[in-house]
Amino acid sequence: MTGFGRGEITKNGTTANIEIRCVNSRFLEITTRMPRALSQREKEIKDLVRTYVNRGGLTITITVDEEDDGQAALSVNSSAAKSYLKLLNELRKVTKIKEKVRLEHLLKFSEVFEVPNGEETDERLWNVVVDALHVALKDFTTMRQNEGSELAKDLEKRILWMEEIVNQIEALSKLRIPEELKKLEERIALLVADKNIIDQNRLELEVALLADKLDVTEECVRFRSHNKFFLEAMAGEESAGRKLNFLVQEINREANTIGSKTNDATIAHLVVRMKEELEKVREQLQNIE
């Protein structure tokens, strides 16, 4: 199901902004776009998304902004600075250089400065991102639920319409059996002048077999049963996309059987209309998780 969600959280000068976009997909496919500092957290992000989403092609975009609080991003490594100063003074004595050690000499050594505790910074950043991701996923889920409610109304309307068509087909098929019996007798009468030589038992057997071939009651019962399960699955709390796809396949199979058993133009037209509606339902199901 398509959808969009956005979440933004600011804590201690760090702002995480997350956008989630989703297109239809038979499976769950997650693509992430995020700062390099979060690259090692990709699996954790995808695991969190899976707790909210089961199906769809998701693109998750994460941006992070940190306010400049006026503090330097580096700090002085006191022990390194003292060690280098001591080494330089010893070098002066050994080489008998009279020049004193100055600050510019110490700045030649990069170790006198160090990055603040990286693990602490990464953990703080990650906590902000997680909170923003939860907000984005909840917003995303709400949008999909609203869209799903509208889709459910449309699907229910189509399923109930098809149920009415099946009832019409069943009624028409029952009316056709006596008509077919009459047509069969008329055809036999044309071939045989003397009706007394017709084996009535054989004729009744053929009519019974013909009636069985024309009777679509069993298919109509299964059709209505699948419709019932379809509506129940939509009303359930669990994700039903795959189950609904399976039920549509079964409904379509019954429609095909009904179409193959009939040689009545009216019923054939009803079956065609029903299959057109089924195709619309199948397309809509691509939007259902």
CA dist., res. 2 & res. 145, Å (int):
11
Assess whether 177 and 46 both reside in one domain.
Answer: no
CATH number of the domain enclosing 42: 3.30.230.70
Assess whether 152 and 260 both reside in one domain.
Answer: yes
What pLDDT was estimated at residue 147?
82
Q: ∠ at Cα 199 (194, 204), nearest 5°?
A: 120
Assess whether 151 and 137 both reside in one domain.
Answer: no
Q: Are 14 and 122 in contact (CB under 8 A)?
A: no
What pLDDT was estimated at residue 60?
94
What pLDDT was estimated at residue 261?
79
What pLDDT was estimated at residue 6?
93
Assess whether 161 and 59 both reside in one domain.
Answer: no
Assess whether 94 and 28 both reside in one domain.
Answer: no
What pLDDT was estimated at residue 54?
83
What pLDDT was estimated at residue 193?
56
What pLDDT was estimated at residue 132?
94
Residue that finishes a domain, picked among 127, 145, 163: 145
Assess whether 125 and 180 both reside in one domain.
Answer: no
Assess whether 123 and 151 both reside in one domain.
Answer: no
Tokens standing for 271? Answer: 């079956």
Assess whether 99 and 195 both reside in one domain.
Answer: no
Sign for the pseudo-dihedral over CA of 263, 269, 273, 276: positive
Sign for the pseudo-dihedral over CA of 266, 270, 276, 282: negative
Assess whether 89 and 195 both reside in one domain.
Answer: no
Question: Locate tokens 């949008």: which residue?
Answer: 143
Spatial CA neighbour of 15 closest among 62, 66, 60, 61: 66
- Domain of residue 162 covers 147-285
State how many domains the chain has: 3
Assess whether 189 and 247 both reside in one domain.
Answer: yes
Please list the pLDDT of the chain residue by residue as tens digits (289 residues): 678 999 999 988 889 999 999 988 778 899 999 888 788 889 999 999 999 888 888 999 999 887 755 554 567 888 888 898 889 888 888 888 888 888 888 888 878 876 555 555 578 888 899 999 999 999 998 988 888 888 888 899 999 999 999 999 888 887 776 776 677 667 666 666 555 556 666 666 666 666 666 678 888 899 999 999 998 888 877 777 778 888 999 999 999 988 887 777 888 899 999 999 999 888 888 767 6
Q: Are 53 and 289 in contact (CB under 8 A)?
A: yes
What pLDDT was estimated at residue 136?
94
Assess whether 140 and 152 both reside in one domain.
Answer: no
Assess whether 163 and 261 both reside in one domain.
Answer: yes
